[in-house]
């Protein structure tokens, strides 16, 4: 029966592809854990799978967002444009914050990209960091706009769960709502790392190692994803319960409606079940994929094992471009300008650069998801009080 619902192929595709990506990533992690010396010499194909999984999930959300622009009526398209503009400005403000407050490592990204790209194009004039900031802000605005309506739907279902469901489901919903806020705070250096990481044994503070702090931050993101995955049944049931709310509203209305109109209104909720499921699970898949990419590309370790981290001296992306360069050098058909073009890429996309980029987009994705959801909850509560 699910194949008759709107957007059911997209939902099935992103879920299946994510499961396969997670399986390949788990196998790759187990292989590199059993054979650490292979980390810098063999390509981690799970990175490609995770990138594709995040791309397909983002593509599904983008196609749902574009529907509002094709329809043309209503204020949905205007809301997307407004929130995209707000998030663009907010991102520009965030990118101006000093690294001593928000520890993404983007200042190193700017310097390294300028230095490496200047060497690549043989230019004495470095590129301005504002260009990189504008590109990041545009991508961040797109993420914020496609996350808007999934967040609003999440807020609607969350409000219904908090009002009508049992205490266990209520607790799960509240924890999963607050975890993105904890993720946001975990990248605020004065509140998180400076408070928890041991810098001096004579200081009276909570002592954790730097690697342990990084691992715990990944653990919070994994916990957030697991809670959101486990709550999908409750949230979809809350979506279906809106049909009962519509039936009760019809009974309160003075004007009479036909049986056909009543059935259309109720069936509308069921036929949009896969859309609600996609809007619930696609953002979680993106966050989960970004977390795993941050671990793989940033050189982190699940167990905060410093011995293993010393072995992880080279980013998986650097290995990819280095192996690609080796392939181009050994290919008779591809030698020439293509080899010259790919040769510096493994030095441009170093571990520190990718760690900064992935840290920012992971933090930003959780941030816009949380902000838009809180906005939706506040709007729903104000609207219910006004009735």
Q: Is residue 288 part of a domain?
A: yes
Instruction: Report pLDDT for 1.
Output: 46
Q: Is residue 335 part of a domain?
A: no
Q: Is residue 170 part of a domain?
A: no
Q: Is residue 69 part of a domain?
A: yes
Instruction: Report pLDDT for 339.
Output: 45
Which one, of 24, 28, 51, 47, lies nearest residue 38 by Cα?
Answer: 28
Which one, of 373, 346, 319, lies nearest residue 39 by Cα?
Answer: 319
Which one, of 107, 145, 164, 176, lies nearest residue 353 by Cα?
Answer: 107
Q: Are 38 and 73 in contact, with CB atoms under 8 Å apart?
A: no
Q: Are 109 and 333 in contact, with CB atoms under 8 Å apart?
A: no
The residue-averaged pLDDT of 135-154 equals 94
Q: Is residue 46 part of a domain?
A: yes
Instruction: Report pLDDT for 305.
Output: 54
Report how far apart, in Å, the C-alpha atoms of 63 and of each of 139, 147, 272 are: 16, 12, 15
**Ramachandran class of 336: left when φ > 0, alpha when ψ lies in -120 to 50, beta otherwise:** left
Q: pTM of the prediction? A: 0.86
Question: Mean pLDDT in the chain?
Answer: 80
pLDDT in tens, 156-207: 998 888 887 777 788 888 899 999 999 999 999 988 888 887 665 555 555 6
HSE-CB at 109 with a 13 A cutoff on CA atoms is 23
More confident residue, 212 or 137: 137
338 — pLDDT class (breaks 50, 70, 90): very low
Q: Is residue 80 part of a domain?
A: yes
Instruction: Report pLDDT for 294.
Output: 92
- What's the CA gap between 377 and 153, in Å, rounded? 10
- What's the CA gap between 361 and 297, in Å, rounded? 13
Instruction: Report pLDDT for 39.
Output: 66
Domain count, the chain: 1
Which has the minimum average pLDDT: 11-25, 262-276, 288-302?
262-276
116 — pLDDT class (breaks 50, 70, 90): low
Domain that holds residue 365: 2-143+236-315+350-369
The gap from C-alpha 196 to its chain's centroid, in whole angstroms, comes to: 25
Q: Is residue 155 part of a domain?
A: no
- What's the CA gap between 367 and 353, in Å, rounded? 21
Instruction: Report pLDDT for 134.
Output: 92
197 in helix, strand or coil?
Answer: strand
Q: Is residue 201 part of a domain?
A: no
């Amino acid at each position: 029966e699910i194949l008759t619902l709107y957007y059911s192929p997209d939902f099935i595709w992103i879920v299946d592809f994510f499961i396969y990506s997670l399986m390949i990533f788990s196998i790759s992690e187990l292989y590199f854990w059993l054979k650490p010396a292979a980390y810098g010499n063999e390509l981690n194909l799970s990175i490609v799978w995770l990138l594709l999984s995040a791309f397909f999930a983002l593509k599904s959300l983008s196609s749902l967002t574009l529907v509002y622009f094709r329809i043309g009526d209503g204020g949905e398209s205007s809301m997307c444009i407004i929130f995209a503009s707000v998030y663009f400005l907010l991102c520009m403000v965030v990118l101006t914050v000093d690294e001593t407050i928000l520890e993404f490592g983007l200042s190193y990204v700017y310097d390294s990209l300028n230095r490496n790209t200047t060497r690549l194009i043989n230019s004495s004039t470095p590129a301005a960091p504002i260009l990189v900031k504008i590109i990041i802000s545009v991508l961040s605005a797109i993420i914020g706009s496609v996350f808007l309506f999934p967040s609003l739907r999440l807020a609607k279902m969350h409000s219904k769960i908090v009002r009508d469901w049992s205490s266990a489901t209520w607790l799960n919903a509240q924890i999963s709502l607050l975890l993105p806020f904890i993720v946001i705070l975990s990248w605020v250096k004065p509140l998180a790392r400076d408070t928890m990481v041991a810098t001096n044994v004579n200081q009276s503070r909570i002592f954790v190692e730097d690697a342990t702090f990084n691992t715990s931050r990944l653990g919070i993101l994994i916990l957030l994803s697991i809670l959101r995955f486990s709550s999908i049944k409750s949230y979809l049931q809350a979506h279906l319960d809106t049909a009962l709310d519509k039936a009760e509203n019809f009974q309160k209305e003075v004007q009479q409606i036909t049986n056909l109109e009543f059935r259309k209104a109720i069936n509308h909720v069921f036929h949009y079940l896969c859309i609600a499921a996609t809007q619930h699970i696609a953002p979680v898949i993106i966050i989960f994929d970004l977390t795993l990419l941050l671990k793989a590309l940033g050189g982190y370790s699940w167990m905060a094992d410093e011995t293993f981290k010393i072995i992880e001296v080279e980013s998986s992306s650097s290995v990819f471009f280095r192996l690609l360069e080796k392939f181009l050098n050994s290919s008779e058909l591809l030698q020439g300008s293509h080899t010259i073009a790919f040769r510096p890429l493994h030095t441009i996309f170093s571990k520190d650069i990718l760690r900064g980029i992935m840290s920012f987009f992971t933090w930003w994705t959780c941030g816009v998801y949380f902000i838009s959801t809180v906005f939706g909850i506040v709007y729903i509560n104000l609207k219910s009080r006004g009735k």
